Amino acid sequence: MNQEAACRSIETTIKSLGRATIDSPVSGSTIFVEDHERVVIDTSLGFFKRCMETGSEPVSFELAGPRRKIYFDPSKTKCAIVTCGGLCPGINDVIRSLVLELHYAYRVENIYGVPYGLQGFIPSYGHALVELTPDAVEHIHELGGTVLGSSRGSQDIGEIVDALERLNMNIVFFIGGDGTLKAASSVAREALERGYRCAVIAIPKTIDNDIAFVSKTFGFDTAVEEARKVITCAHAEAKGAPNGIGLVKLMGRDSGFIAANAALASRDVNFVLVPEEDFDLEGPRGFLCALEKRIRTRGHAVVVVAEGAGQKFFTDMPEEKDASGNVRKHDIGVYLKERIERYFQEVALPVNLKYIDPSYTIRSVTANASDSIFCGFLAQMAVHAGMCGKTDMLIGLWNNVYVHIPTEICMQGRKKIDVGGPLWMSVREATGQPVMVNEG
């Protein structure tokens, strides 16, 4: 995020259901947090100088953590957990930590899982709620995916709130990506308009790590680690054959963070293609020419492409959308494979190309140690916020601190790689890849 954007007036106030008056049952060595404790969005010296020059207050987020007073009476509190969208490492870790924090820290006994995403709220689907106890979630972090099931696609917000009222739910935890955040915010607003006091807390889930105003989302570290293993295999395949090419397609619909970080982690990648940077295929400065030079000089190459890269090559194809309303990305991996093979046939240079798409495998693995710890913190902070009566917000990591972020802010756009920033500069230095755009 640049300094000019940070200095603009961004509304970061967190909505609340009412005044918290009940003493928190959280005890021991707990350090309580006050609502006035804030985390500045931009910590750079230039930002502070600019704010001083303009006389504006630094934009900041509310610090996450346990409060001395809570809004809900734990003995009467009923909570729901729902997981939506695609799979991602760590979902079960979040579910487990939510249940354990609610049960042991706040002594909440009525905790339920909503099966198959937003469908679970709609009576016509017939999905029964799942009772979640510490015993029920004891080992779920050892499993990939989500024990509650998931689904894509929108559901009627009114029906969802109707279901919450019928079930007398006090807190709902939404675990999901961009579409889920929008749904959660709509549910929170609808409940407030009805005067129904239900806290809606979101925990952002996107393996692509593209949520705005969130430094990192859970599952990303695991995805990078797993992707590096795949790249290592692709490198072995490339070096094991004359003129070998390993082509790996990774997740990244609109942002290439997994591709960029996995390439840096492996240091065996020669080309990284991401949605944020344009590239040509043909021409003297195009990708295919650069790949040919690499093969002729070094005898092998490893190419990593994010799924949303190179979509300009499909402009003549009709646009399609998935159940969540997202534009379906055309398969750049298969397209590149075919174009590479055809190009080297035309230049009479035999190559051995191995194409690997590990996307569904990576999404379904269990979280690594780093992500598992991260999931635990996110869940704990989400429970603290919900029990205090906060609503229409999500838990995010910003400047290495857990904060409360209004859901609406995160829906203003996707986080993307700054191609003029240090991450992409490091990728260029590690790969040695040139700018692959022909002069106009």
Positions marked active-site: 208
* Whole-angstrom distance, CA of residue 80 vs CA of residue 158: 17
In the structure encoding, which two tokens stand for residue 141, read together?
A: 């972090």
Residue 196 to residues 63, 163, 229, 235, 399, Cα–Cα distance (Å) = 26, 12, 49, 57, 34
How many residues are present in the chain? 440
Residue at 185: amino acid letter: S
Q: At what angle do helices 220-239 and 257-266 cross, to 10 degrees?
A: 60
- Residue 153 CB neighbours (<10 A): 14
Residue at token pair 């969208």 = 85
327: DSSP letter: B
Residue 293 to residues 11, 282, 296, 341, Cα–Cα distance (Å) = 51, 13, 5, 15
- Please give the angle made by the CA atoms of 73, 131 and 22, to the nearest 5 degrees: 10
Residue at token pair 């079930």 = 167
Contacts of 268 (CB under 8 A, 6+ apart): 231, 232, 235, 302
125: DSSP letter: G
73: DSSP letter: -
Is 101 in contact with 379 (CB distance < 8 Å)? Answer: yes
Euclidean distance between the first and the last CA atom of the chain, given in angstroms as a whole number: 30
Phi, psi of 234 (to 5 degrees): -65, -35
Do the strands 171-176 and 199-204 form a parallel or antiparallel pair, or are they unpaired? Answer: parallel
Give, for 224, the enclosing helix (H) or strand (E): helix 220-239
What three-state secondary structure class fits 424? helix
Contacts of 348 (CB under 8 A, 6+ apart): none
- Residue 305 CB neighbours (<10 A): 27
